[in-house]
Amino acid sequence: MSRKTPRAAARVFAALGDATRLALVMRLSQGPARSIAELSAHSRLTRQAMTKHLRVLERARLVRGRRTGREKRFAFRPDSIMELQDYLAVVSAQWEGALERLRTLVEDGS
């Protein structure tokens, strides 16, 4: 059973709906935690813009930021994506049930 509520799932979908944030999640999911400086080094984004995107991802629980000395390092949180997969499985099952009921109604009504 999914622990994601529709509101929490919507926050994740909204966060991933931005191409920059989706790219950040993909990059962080393929390696170790990185600082804002590391993430913005090969990007057109300023550190300030990168920080804003990372805050959105943190609120959606897709990344976790931890202070290490003077910098904050960000890491991908795979558990949030797994919860989202569970949520989508529940929604998919509900739609399958609705479509099956509709099919039965149409076939019985013919």
Summarize pLDDT for 52-73 with one digit per residue, the tens.
999 999 999 999 999 989 999 9
Average pLDDT over residues 21-30: 95
Instruction: Give the pLDDT confidence score for residue 4 in this predicted structure.
Output: 66
For the cut 50, the answer to whether the pLDDT of residue 1 exceeds it is no
Summarize pLDDT for 5-21 with one digit per residue, the tens.
888 888 999 999 999 99
Long-range CB pairs of 80-89, under 8 A, 24+ apart, other chains included: 80/12, 83/2, 83/3, 83/4, 84/4, 84/9, 84/12, 86/1, 86/2, 86/3, 86/4, 87/2, 87/4, 87/9, 89/2
- CATH T-level assignment (fold) for domain 6-109: Arc Repressor Mutant, subunit A (1.10.10)
Instruction: Give the pLDDT confidence score for residue 8 in this predicted structure.
Output: 84
What residues does each domain of the chain span? 6-109
0.85 exceeded by pTM: no
